[in-house]
Amino acid sequence: MPTPHPPVRPLAPGDPALAALAAIEDAGSPMFAEVMDVSRWAPAPSGDQRLARPGFVLVAGEPPVGFAHVLDLGGHAHLDQLSVHPDHMRRGTGRGLVSAAQVEAARRGHAAMTLCTFADVPWNAPFYRQLGFREVHETDAPEPVREIRARERAAGLDAGGPRIIMSVPLATTTVEPRPAVSVIPLRDGPGGVEVFVQHRQSTMDFAAGAVVFPGGRCDPGDVAAGAGIPLPPEVEAEHVRRWCRWSPTPSDPREHARTLLATGLRELEEETGMQAAPSSLHPWDRWITPEIVPKRFDVAFYVLPVPHETASQPQHLTSEATRSGWEPAGRLLADLAAGRLTMLTPTRVILEEIVALGEVAAVLGHRPVITGVRDDRPSGRPRPRER
């Protein structure tokens, strides 16, 4: 099982954890030295110096293994620094810190958060794109952020590579998530499990430019369509049971399960042209978009085995994607790590789980307990199987 995510908490004056921040930040310099000249970089400021500026500082772990520093630039939230000690990277600490920073910024009334970062360093701009940040042209950025970029150029920071401004919207009021379904077509390939994915258009208002599975939100007509699906009683009972662990429990679990299934079948046919047998969709996972995001979804995920000999195969049909097709799940994760593509956290975590299981038969036989993920930070994968 993955290492549990370290807890995140705010820092106040006099907190002993402040003394660790500069060392955490400086520990990351050798990583940058591999891709750019860092000889002119100044030592990291102390924790006390950071806390003295308007804004807030969050720390992860006890003792600290990472921190996030958000500046309040005249009423505008700006992520000035995110640092995780190299010995604790790739465990979700950075994602947890950014998520917590967004929640705190939204709580303080900020409608967006910006940052300045290197465009081509894999753990910089590509990482933030996975978290929903998008590039903003400098002329469109808030004036205090433009001033930060001017200071960066004057200090010679751009010598290390192109720097960009990125921004993400924040929800300052609670937005109810919309029910949605995503279907994950699977097949075995020479390099492991392959999945049918879509590369979304960069102009989309949700998951722009990201790799996603086919799917979409539930429509009113899916309720009636679900009621008419021919489904063996034992299959219906399994779907009802597996979706009912999510809280709050739906008022009509049977209708709820059938509506989700109808949505998955409809979206699959609309976006890929594939007509699947209702019993071939297997409940797999459920994620709800964090409260900090203005556009939220409560997404039920199904896995769908599609052997090579299956007559009806998914195709690229949707205008919401630049391309769609079968790709090895392991290669997608490698491309993500190298910064060659972006994907949302649920997509990444589900792909990691599928790759760990190794083959389609193992995926179908796993039957994981579906409890739902509310904050994009699953406690462990692969999940335990149903007994």
Yes or no: say if 347 and 210 are a contact pair by the CB < 8 Å rule: yes
Tokens 């059938």, located at residue:
258
Residue 217 has pLDDT above 90, yes or no: yes
Ordered by where they begin, the domains of the chain are: 8-169 (3.40.630.30), 178-366 (3.90.79.10)
Q: Which of 53-57, 117-121, 208-212, 336-340 shows the highest mean pLDDT?
A: 53-57
For 152, list phi and psi in degrees, rounded to 5: -60, -45
For residue 247, the model assigns a pLDDT of: 64
Residues 6 or more apart in contact with residue 284 via CB below 8 angstroms: 184, 301, 302, 303, 350, 368, 370
pLDDT exceeds 90 at position 326 = yes
pLDDT in tens, 248-296: 778 899 999 999 999 999 999 999 999 999 999 999 999 998 777 778 8
Task: Give the pLDDT score at 383.
Answer: 86
- The candidate with the shortest Cα–Cα distance to 36, out of 145, 118, 127, is 118
What integer is the mean pLDDT of 69-76? Answer: 95
Asked whether residue 174 carries a pLDDT value surpassing 80, the answer given is: no
Q: What is the pTM of this model?
A: 0.72
pLDDT in tens, 193-215: 999 999 998 776 677 778 999 99
Question: What's residue 223's pLDDT?
Answer: 96
pLDDT at position 205, please? 65
Amino acid at 34: E
Mean pLDDT of 357-363: 96
- Work out the average pLDDT over 118-131: 86
pLDDT for residue 3: 45
Whether pLDDT at 82 is above 50: yes
